[in-house]
Amino acid sequence: MATATGGDVMVRMLQEFREMQEESKEQFARTEKALRAVHMKCRVLFRKTQRMSDRIHVIAEQVRALDAEMDEFRDNMGELTTHVSTLTQEVHGIKSAQIRMFGQVGRALNHLAEAQSSDRKRIDVLEERMDGPEEN
């Protein structure tokens, strides 16, 4: 009886794990989409900053101090874009590893549940065989 209850718990845990795995996949998709949007917006912002910097260079002869500040700003934006891009790739890698990990754990739980079910069947057969001679 205790084994059957353990099997029920295992099946329930497996179902909860599968639900968590699906939720994780959905969350990963949402996160990845948001990160891609941020990455693209940063790229657009960086390109616009570069265009703005090019226009300011026309005025640079008159306002050299402003030109130096804008160059520094553009460089910082380029670094920021690089860092955000790297962060996007890192988060994607982390999420991919997490999905793989959940997949491996899920397969292991499935294997354990199948083994437990098989053991339960063997126990039932043995119990039936043991009970059989007593009835005769």
Instruction: State the average pLDDT over residues 8-21.
Output: 88
Residue-level pLDDT at 135: 52
Q: What's the pTM? A: 0.38
Residue pLDDT, tens place only, 113-122: 898 999 899 9
Determine the Cα–Cα distance for residues 42 and 80; give it in Å rounded to an integer. 8
Rounded to 5°, angle at Cα 35 from 34 and 39: 120
